[in-house]
Amino acid sequence: MPLIHKEGSKTLWNVGLLCGLAILVVLIYRPGNPETVGIVVTCSLAVFLFFLQFFRNPPRTVPQKNFRVLSPADGKIVFAGVTKETEVLKADVFKVSIFMSPFNVHVNRYPVSGEVVYVKHHPGRYLVALHPKSSELNERCTTAIRTDEGHLVVVRQIAGIVARRIVNYAVVGQRVTAGQEMGFIKFGSRTDVFWPTTWKTKIDLGDYVKGAESILA
């Protein structure tokens, strides 16, 4: 598994090029001003390193037992409770919302194994991902997986005020495995996951979770 996600290749190339040009320009036009050169070099490296860490794709070890739902993303639990899911399930379910800051890993993963039965992208607004209505109003992509036991689990990728691109690899009819890559969201954003209310929840509000490793239910 590459340590830098493929979705970052073009962005890193462009950022690296711009940073390199900035350094080249200051070396050409301010060669006698080491303070200015130092500031530009430092800032350029800081910007490039920020993007580099954003697109990191660290290896994960998926638990082999004792779970029904794995975390689909890295981040902080900002909501955990019973609510109504109106797009696919149209019923009261347990919902967990995971907020991803720009410093979290932004790879999204399937929370359960099974068959993809629904995928739909919705255009929308770009409210702050922490906003309660962002799940309904923001640009988002909803994916539903039917487990081998016949249960439906829904994952919703939600764009934030900075995130402007949601990537989703799911295809209806595809067989997927818990922990497998499902997609990527560029910059600060949120991922929601919904499951039956009868399943035992393993997390609390404010917990920090890791995609493909933390057990949610």
CA-to-CA separations, 93 to 115, 136, 152, 208, 216, in angstroms, rounded: 20, 16, 10, 22, 14
In the set 71, 134, 135, 189, the catalytic residue is 189
115/117 Cα distance (integer angstroms): 6
Chain position carrying tokens 């988002």: 140
Distance, in Å, from the CA atom of 104 to the CA atom of 187, rounded to the nearest integer, reads: 9
If you ran DSSP here, which 8-state letter would residue 74 be given?
S
Closest CA to 71 of 197, 188, 182: 182
Q: Is 214 a catalytic residue?
A: no
Catalytic residue numbers read 189
